[in-house]
Structure 1
């Protein structure tokens, strides 16, 4: 029977899960807090749905939600991740409670208005963690370098001209041996130098793991064939984008990567508002950095960037434009690579 079905909404928390079950007409069959244990959740739903078929289930994106949804899918549940920000805007009341949140998710499943979010496979989530850990190490390395330069400026210490540029081997050797720093300042600088060496070694270790993890990945290998795209860029794109096939077109992918210009027009006023703020900012940074390299190595992108600058566009705008056009072009190429790898 068409009406003998139900819809389930989960408001996920570390220690418990609020579970709401609605029938086809929207009547509440149950809305209860259950221990965050898969057997307890399945038992409660089975006892409450009274034999009804589960037509849809949803859980908002949050820490732990992806693993939770994957476990439900392993039990053949039609569960989807929901966009937490959009769900919040669709509420009819400013009041918030676990009971209301779970009910909203179940009701959105019932009426077909659930703002779905792609659930990445476990291997993609694992690769994301590796890429983001490297980013954390790079940020720590940058902070250490900033503190070291700040200390030298405060003490008005400058390296001799023959030492060369900062952060070269010769410059670091000079910094370790200079007698301009004394007392506690010398000790603190030595600690910073030790931290810098440790972080550099950790970054290299992560990059070795990236190389090993993606040796047989056709998407990463295809990306690395592009002149100007290295290991880190290819791995981060693979991890953060996941599957190119989940996007309908290149414009959707560009917007997800946050390299799409924002339209700020109103009435007779036509204006742009820079790049969209919603999107994956890690990908935006990576793509704009890649765009600068592409404009150096590939004539097509070099010509585009120079043409934009000749028309008076700033270099940052030109780089963002190259990033936008490149990722849109790349979308169709990588879809073919994914389809060929699936057939193989």
Structure 2
């Protein structure tokens, strides 16, 4: 008889439920949320399991890798589907959640989530750390600007490299204002140093990663966007079609259809927010800063004239996701288009 297991993972302990192929509960237990403890728990049961389901969470990748290395059939499942099944339980408890996950494994009503490699997870962590420091720096800068405006001082738009020194110079005539702003400036100066260190780490990663260097040949795509896309996709072969990448990253319109009602909404934003934001910024750079002609830019500018720049950025971001995946899969360089080739040929002649 086949058996299936569901794991409701929390920070300290994991609730485990095992059911047979008829849905009958065979065993329920708890174990520490660590791979050795879970492996020992399954070894002690002595049953051959067909599937072990874990809901996607912060510990899932670590536990999934540990269980897989031990030869156990661990599967990470999509959170929204898991939540839909858990809501059928009258009471929200770890035990009931484990039971629901076990039944999902038995019925096969789930969407398996790709667990990225450890290297890609570390790359993404570096990008998240850099972005977090950048966001906090912006918050502190806004507070400093507000403090200066109380005294009628307008900071303007100095570069971050000189902003701390300029604020100290402008506020030097007001001791009370200086006393308030100085702690924030000290924190900001330290954050600037650490932000530069994190940025260097990202650039060093990109230098040693050939896929990122290839992706950077696309206009508008810099090291941050290339690494974010590389870390998010992990393996290009998990997508049968390149155009599926746009939907995976939440860059395709959402849709609601019921009877005669058929509404197409804004982009779904259901994918990885880090990669989606990076692609959107790359699209903005391509449309507004890139001086080299390409058919992609011409296509995007055509959309901007008809429907506005905001929609054009989203459309180009989606197109960039498709192009980057196809370049990665085929190993080809970016194609600027026929007009660019004609211009280059005439210039050479």
Q: TM-score, normalised by structure 2?
A: 0.85
The reply on whether 1:301 has 2:301 as its aligned counterpart is no
Offset from partner CA, 1:226-269 (integer Å, 9 cap, x none): 23221112112222232232223233311222211223566556
Q: Are the equivalent residues in 2 in contact too, given 1:261–1:274 (CA < 8 A)?
A: yes
The Cα offsets for residues 21-44 of structure 1, whole Å up to 9 and x where unpaired, read as 122332222011223344443333
Alignment check: 8 A CA contact 2:148 2:177 kept = no
Given that residues 20 and 99 in structure 1 are in contact (C-alpha distance below 8 angstroms), is that contact kept between their aligned partners in structure 2?
yes
- 1:304 shift after superposition: 1.7
Cα distance 1:200–1:267, how it changes in 2: closer, same or farther (>3 A)?
Answer: same
TM-score calculated relative to the size of structure 1 = 0.86
Mapped pair 1:30 → 2:24: no
- Secondary structure of 1:116's counterpart equals coil
Aligned-residue offset at 1:157? 1.4
How well do the aligned residues superpose, as a CA RMSD in angstroms?
2.4
Corresponding residue number in structure 2 for 1:136: 132
Q: 2:11 aligns with which of 11, 14, 27?
A: 14
More moved, 239-248 vs 15-24: 239-248
Paired with 2:190 and 2:316, the residues of 1 have a C-alpha distance of: 36
**Superposed displacement of residue 165, structure 1:** 4.2
Give the equivalent residue in structure 2 for 1:341: none
More off after superposition, 208-217 vs 131-140:
208-217
Change in CA separation of 1:260 and 1:24 when aligned onto 2, cut-off 3 Å: same
Partner of 2:205: 213
Partners in 2 of 1:226 and 1:74 — Cα distance?
38
Deviations 1:143-200 (A, max 9, x none): 11111211222222136xxxx7433767654432225652331123233333222222
For 1:246, the equivalent position in structure 2 comes to 238
Structure-2 residue corresponding to 1:64: 59
In the alignment, the residues of structure 2 paired with residue 291 and residue 250 of structure 1 have an alpha-carbon distance, to the nearest angstrom, of: 18
Shift in CA distance, 337/8, structure 1 to aligned 2, threshold 3 Å:
farther
SS of 1:229 mapped into structure 2: coil
Distance in 1 of aligned mates of 2:67 and 2:158: 53
Please list every run of 5 or more consecutive structure 2 residues that lacks an aligned counterpart in the other structure: 333-349
Cα contact 1:258–1:283 (8 A) shared by 2: no
Counterpart check, 1:83 vs 2:75: no
Q: Can you give the 5+ residue segments of structure 1 that lack an aligned partner in the other structure?
A: 339-344
Stretch deviating more after TM superposition (314-323 or 226-235): 226-235
The 1:31–1:69 alpha-carbon spacing in structure 2 relative to 1, beyond 3 Å, is same
Shift of 1:45: 2.2
